[in-house]
């Protein structure tokens, strides 16, 4: 009997140890990563976050089969800085990717600013671990530094083996039938100035010809030359936005200049699925950076008129369909159980984006504010969904504060890499929280910037579960009480368009997520304690900041013809390498 039991017990113990080892192995073995990042999508635009007018069954399925984060926070309320933080795991002002002026994003493919070469993205670290890394879609982190082909800010210099998409961002100027969007107010001023200078020149010339005004021909010639020079100086950039900014690239080569918007969606989807098929036999990272749901809301005909939320809803439903197609490709290749899928938006929906009575921006649910607002929840609280069958529990909902910057350490650790030790990494590894092995997020404080200006700070008081948020600066809504800056198009970060609060506005988000009822020392006994605690955290945080070159300075943002990507001989830049001919 003992001889029988001994081998049985031995086999049983061995089996249990082997199962534990295999379970652990499933965690540490390099999974594939598919990261979906929407553009300008509001947290209230998705079914699993409460929307009932836009159908998003595929994104909802991810939440049902995985983990949904309800307090997932972008590090900035605009594309360029938010994506810089996402890629580096660091607040954007640490890399110089947040604005000191009103130019808060990369404005031109031919600007010299961008994600600095000395920044280490998660793609670069995964590349070092043997991953195939691909970026499909939007970049918006700059292209060149000193010459047209140095590609110092290009995705291939930041750890991506393959890039197909827009080095810039989608704007209404890319669609010939749409009203120009880029720097619209400034362009109007330039046109008006040109007309006034031209009118002065014409009046002087007519006065000279009729003898009513005594003006020397040399003065007239100089005036006419100045008029022409002024016009050319700005029209050479703003007059050709579609050719300069609306381009598609494959790696370093330009495939469309300008882009043919009718086929952009199908090409991005084709490239995404192709990348999965080409790399299915080795670990891969696919970062699908959607052009949806940014204006001009490129939507194929079969999705037009399908939603109950107009063109914006149609566009979101098409994006959801694209998510489903990529998930189907993962399933088809048998990669579902070895692939961590993540879905998020770069920041909140754009409330002010309207054309007449058409609302072209997103909805941020119950949260106050929207895109460009650094402090209010509507500008920075975004969807956040993870799925990894067999590793992450299905249907789990987490209310803890998390950040888009957390993707960086999370996937780097899963890939077997280590985060850099020579710089501050603000993101935290989310895997223990996602799996349920810890209850609380590692974030005690999150700092909410608008450009380089600190607008608000969040304190997660873990012992009580309270989430305090202090606002030091808030935008002035226009018209008053409107909930956004409709008269401006964007809410500013500083100047006459903001209000400074001393003492700060304080909210307890777990009780008041809409930030509707500010607390005071009279209504909240802990008011002074909370404000002092947050104040000390700000002082400690600022001690970790070091001066860096400003990538969004006026000089770095302006159009430079010698940096303009061009598929011909500049300025004759035109090509279509995706067409039938």
DSSP symbol at 456: E
The CA distance from 241 to 113, in Å, is: 18
Q: Are 231 and 561 in contact (CB under 8 A)?
A: no
Q: Are 287 and 407 in contact (CB under 8 A)?
A: no
Residue 490: burial class (beta carbons within 10 Å; 0-12, 13-18, 19+):
buried
The CA distance from 541 to 537, in Å, is: 6
Place of tokens 């006034």: 196
Pick the closest to residue 121 from 542, 443, 425 (CA basis).
425
Q: Are 452 and 103 in contact (CB under 8 A)?
A: no
The CA distance from 131 to 161, in Å, is: 9
Q: 3-state SS string over 20-48? A: HHHHHHHHHCCCEEEEEEECCCCHHHCHH
Q: Strand 498-508 to strand 466-475: parallel, antiparallel, or no bridges (unpaired)?
A: antiparallel
Structure tokens at 269: 């989807």
Point out the residues that are catalytic. 79, 140
* 293 cis-preceded (ω within 30 degrees of 0): yes
Residue 215, CB-side half-sphere exposure with 13 Å CA sphere: 21
* 296 cis-preceded (ω within 30 degrees of 0): yes
């Amino acid at each position: 009997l003992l001889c029988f039991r001994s081998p049985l017990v031995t086999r049983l113990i061995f089996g249990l140890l082997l199962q534990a080892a295999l379970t652990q192995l499933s965690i540490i073995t390099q999974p594939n990563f598919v990261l979906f990042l929407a553009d300008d999508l509001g947290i209230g635009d998705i079914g699993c976050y409460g929307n009932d007018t836009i159908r998003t069954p595929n994104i909802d399925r991810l939440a049902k089969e995985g983990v949904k984060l309800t307090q997932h926070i972008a590090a900035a309320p605009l594309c360029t800085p938010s994506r810089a933080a996402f890629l580096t795991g660091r607040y954007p002002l640490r890399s110089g990717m947040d604005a000191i002026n009103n130019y808060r994003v990369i404005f031109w493919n031919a600007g010299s600013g961008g994600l600095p070469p000395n920044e280490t993205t998660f793609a670069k670290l995964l590349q070092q671990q043997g991953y195939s890394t691909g970026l499909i879609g939007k970049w918006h982190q700059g292209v060149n530094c000193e010459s047209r082909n140095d590609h110092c800010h290009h995705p291939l210099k930041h750890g991506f083996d393959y890039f197909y998409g827009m080095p810039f961002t989608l704007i209404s100027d890319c669609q010939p039938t749409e009203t120009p969007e880029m720097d619209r107010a400034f362009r109007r001023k330039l046109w008006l100035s040109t007309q006034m200078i031209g009118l002065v020149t014409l009046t002087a010339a007519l006065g000279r010809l009729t003898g009513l005004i005594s003006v020397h021909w040399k003065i007239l010639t100089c005036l006419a030359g100045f008029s022409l020079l002024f016009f050319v100086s700005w029209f050479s950039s703003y007059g050709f936005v579609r050719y300069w900014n609306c381009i598609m690239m494959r790696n370093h080569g330009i495939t469309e200049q300008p882009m043919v918007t009718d086929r952009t969606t199908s090409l991005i989807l084709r490239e995404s699925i192709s990348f999965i098929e080409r790399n299915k036999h080795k670990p891969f990272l696919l970062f699908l950076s959607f052009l949806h749901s940014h204006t001009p809301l490129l939507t194929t005909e079969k999705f037009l008129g399908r939603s109950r939320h107009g063109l914006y809803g149609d566009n979101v439903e098409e994006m959801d369909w694209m998510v489903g197609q990529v998930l189907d490709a993962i399933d088809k290749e048998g990669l579902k159980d070895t692939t961590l899928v993540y879905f998020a938006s770069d920041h909140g929906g754009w409330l002010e984006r309207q054309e007449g009575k058409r609302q072209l921006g997103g909805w941020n649910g119950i949260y106050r504010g929207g895109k460009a607002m650094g402090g209010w929840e509507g500008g920075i609280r975004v969807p956040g969904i993870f799925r990894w069958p067999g590793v992450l529990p299905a249907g789990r909902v987490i209310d803890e504060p998390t950040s888009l910057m957390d993707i960086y350490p999370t996937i780097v650790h899963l890939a077997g890499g280590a985060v850099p030790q020579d710089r501050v990494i603000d993101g935290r590894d989310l895997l223990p929280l996602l799996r349920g092995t810890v209850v609380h997020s590692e974030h005690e404080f999150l700092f909410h910037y608008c450009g380089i200006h600190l607008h608000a700070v969040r304190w997660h008081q873990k012992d009580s579960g309270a989430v305090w948020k202090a606002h030091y600066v808030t935008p002035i809504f226009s018209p008053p009480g409107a909930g956004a800056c409709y008269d401006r198009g964007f809410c500013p970060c500083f100047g006459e368009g903001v209000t400074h609060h001393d003492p700060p506005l304080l909210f307890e988000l777990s009780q008041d997520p809409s930030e509707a009822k500010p607390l005071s020392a009279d209504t909240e006994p802990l008011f002074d304690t909370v404000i002092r605690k947050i104040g000390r955290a700000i002082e400690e945080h600022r001690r970790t900041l070091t001066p860096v070159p400003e990538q969004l300075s006026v000089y770095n943002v302006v159009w430079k013809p010698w940096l303009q990507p061009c598929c011909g001989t500049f300025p004759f830049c035109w090509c279509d390498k995706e067409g039938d001919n």
